Amino acid sequence: MADSARQLRLGAFLMATGHHVAAWRHPEVPVDPLDFSVYRRVAQVAEAACFDALFVADSAAVFDGPFASHTARSVYFEPLTLHAALSAITERIGLVATVTTSYNEPYHVARQFASLDHLSGGRSGWNLVTSDLAAEAQNFGRDEHLGHAERYARAREFHRVVTGLWDSWADDAFLRDKASGRFYDPDRLHVLDHRGEHFKVRGPLNVARSPQGRPVVVQAGSSETGRELAAETAEVVFTAQTSLAKAQAFYADLKGRLGQYGRGEDALKIMPGVFVVPGQSESEAQEKFEAFQELVEPQVGVALLGRMLGNFDLSEYPLDGPLPELPLTDSGQRSRQQLLTELAGAENLTLAQLGRRIAGGRGHHSLIGTPRQIADELQAWFEERAADGFNVLVPHLPGGLEDFAALVVPELQRRGLFRREYQGRTLREHLGLARPNNPFFA
């Protein structure tokens, strides 16, 4: 049995219809990505299984390209709106929403997440991204996506402004004294008055300091610039790692950067994504997975591949040919581009084979097997310092998460690796993160 002092964390990663690119075509999957009853069911299943958080992905543009009409990634809920609804029907599970710093303003984002934290009783988290979908630019008055370096410089300042706004009020600022007529103590209010390269924001925020002090900040960048930003600002990192050795190297590198920012190792939780298909037997799990793989049209797999490599149109290349040499994109996912290029070379995969290979996990580590086999792998990564927990990616919703909750979670609990009941009420308490002090009222 694992050391009870250290327990792994689990996030349920939600993508419309499921993580598999062909999930929407499966007969067990509700076909409408805007069917709220599916999300209600997913939230109930995840909370009953004591997951730390629901993690919702997002892009501010429609997935386009020659075969875009063959995917379900054209319509989906805006994450903060969805989480506001889910906060009313859940009590404990965390609610992490993806919001880009490239096409938003800090005041809006600070206000929205602070509001969600109050609505949920301290369960909100912000997945800070810089946008990797170049098409988003054209929805926000730009012809081209911001370059990689500029996106991260803007993100760093954006984070500084948002956290400063979250600390606009001391925890005890609001007197609400009807007898004296004083609603708040003006001495317990801080005006940020930020003037920087990218933003000019006076403040203060018109939402009181949130139950968690600040919502939890999550990041997903694995490039050199992304790692440095995460070491400085993130409290959870979501990453794609394909092997134990690579995950260990990433874990050691990122944890090793924290000291220069005055942070201890426990201040940052690293949660790699893991694509999971469990079955009562190996053959059953494989049959489940192949049922989705058979629904992948080769051109759709290649379209997904081009999107993940950095928004390249690969439709003119032969399906049975190799992955072409592509320039390092300045607007796409640099770390994912490197990961997939290495995978294609190491296994000598054709374009169609690589597209089919990533149709489920999309570059994340994939586990297809029995609950014992899956738990063995998760335990190894956890105990050998490759992960503090995992973002669980399932092929379809809600069925894939129901399978994981019914089959894998009990095995993790039996080993003492995962909680049987919630001990706290806030997302910070679930993750073992300290409530931050307000630096303006120390």
Q: Per residue in 234-247, pLDDT tens?
A: 999 999 998 999 99
Instruction: Show binding-site residues.
Output: 58, 98, 148, 152, 222-223
Q: Within this chain, do residues 313 and 387 fall inside the same structural domain, yes or no?
A: no
Question: d(Cα 303, Cα 337) in Å, to the nearest integer?
Answer: 14
Phi/psi of residue 431, nearest 5 degrees = -85, -10
For 135, other C-beta atoms within 10 Å of its C-beta total 17
Question: d(Cα 248, Cα 366) in Å, to the nearest integer?
Answer: 17
**Helix segments in 167-243, DSSP class H:** 224-233
Q: Which helix (H) or strand (E) holds 376?
A: helix 371-383
Yes or no: say if 79 and 58 are a contact pair by the CB < 8 Å rule: yes
pLDDT of residue 379: 98
Q: Within this chain, do residues 105 and 254 fall inside the same structural domain, yes or no?
A: yes
Percent of the chain surpassing pLDDT 70: 96
Query: Does residue 56 form part of some domain?
Result: yes
Q: Within this chain, do residues 156 and 260 fall inside the same structural domain, yes or no?
A: yes
Instruction: Show binding-site residues for FMN.
Output: 58, 98, 148, 152, 222-223
Q: Which residues contact 374 (CB under 8 A, 6 or more apart)?
A: 276, 278, 367, 408, 411
Which one is predicted more confidently, 394 or 342?
A: 394
Q: Within this chain, do residues 373 and 348 fall inside the same structural domain, yes or no?
A: no
Q: Within this chain, do residues 195 and 224 fall inside the same structural domain, yes or no?
A: yes
For 75, other C-beta atoms within 10 Å of its C-beta total 11
Q: Which residues contact 259 (CB under 8 A, 6 or more apart)?
A: none
Three-class DSSP category at 184:
strand
Question: d(Cα 204, Cα 184) in Å, to the nearest integer?
Answer: 14
The token duo for 395 is: 């092929």
pLDDT of residue 1: 41
Q: Within this chain, do residues 218 and 307 fall inside the same structural domain, yes or no?
A: no
Question: d(Cα 37, Cα 49) in Å, to the nearest integer?
Answer: 18
Q: Is residue 3 very low, low, confident or very high in pLDDT (cuts 50, 70, 90)?
A: very low
Query: Does residue 87 form part of some domain?
Result: yes
Query: Does residue 288 form part of some domain?
Result: no
Q: Within this chain, do residues 114 and 155 fall inside the same structural domain, yes or no?
A: yes
Q: Within this chain, do residues 275 and 395 fall inside the same structural domain, yes or no?
A: yes
pLDDT tens by residue, 119-154: 999 999 999 999 877 788 899 999 888 888 899 999
Query: Does residue 219 form part of some domain?
Result: yes
- Domain of 190 in residue numbering reads as 9-282+361-441
Distances, alpha carbon 216 to alpha carbons 128, 233, 371, in Å: 10, 10, 30
Three-class DSSP category at 189:
strand
Lowest mean pLDDT of 20-29, 203-212, 272-281, 315-324, name the range.
315-324
Mean pLDDT of 177-197: 98
Q: Within this chain, do residues 333 and 225 fall inside the same structural domain, yes or no?
A: no
Q: Exposed, middle or buried, 198 (CB in 10 Å: 0-12/13-18/19+)?
A: middle
Phi/psi of residue 189, nearest 5 degrees = -120, 130
Query: Does residue 4 form part of some domain?
Result: no
Yes or no: say if 330 and 148 are a contact pair by the CB < 8 Å rule: yes
pLDDT of residue 2: 44
Question: d(Cα 48, Cα 68) in Å, to the nearest integer?
Answer: 35
Q: What's the CATH code of the domain at 155? A: 3.20.20.30
Yes or no: say if 167 and 190 are a contact pair by the CB < 8 Å rule: yes
Pairing of strands 200-201, 365-369: unpaired
Could you say which of 358, 379, 405 is where a domain stops?
358
Q: First-to-last CA distance in the chain?
A: 42
Q: Which residues contact 16 (CB under 8 A, 6 or more apart)?
A: 33, 72, 73, 75, 76, 77
Q: Within this chain, do residues 336 and 190 fall inside the same structural domain, yes or no?
A: no
Amino acid identity at 293: Q
Query: Does residue 2 form part of some domain?
Result: no
pTM for the whole structure:
0.92
Could you say which of 323, 339, 358 is where a domain stops?
358
Question: d(Cα 354, Cα 351) in Å, to the nearest integer?
Answer: 5
Question: d(Cα 360, Cα 30) in Å, to the nearest integer?
Answer: 18
pLDDT surpasses 60 at 441: yes
pLDDT surpasses 50 at 4: no
Q: Within this chain, do residues 110 and 146 fall inside the same structural domain, yes or no?
A: yes
Query: Does residue 171 form part of some domain?
Result: yes
Question: d(Cα 69, Cα 303) in Å, to the nearest integer?
Answer: 11
**Helix segments in 5-68, DSSP class H:** 36-48
Query: Does residue 289 form part of some domain?
Result: no
Q: Within this chain, do residues 419 and 303 fall inside the same structural domain, yes or no?
A: no
Which residues, listed in sequence order, are joined to residue 40 by a DSSP beta bridge?
none
Mean pLDDT of the chain: 92
For the chain, the domain total comes to 2
Could you say which of 358, 392, 411 is where a domain stops?
358
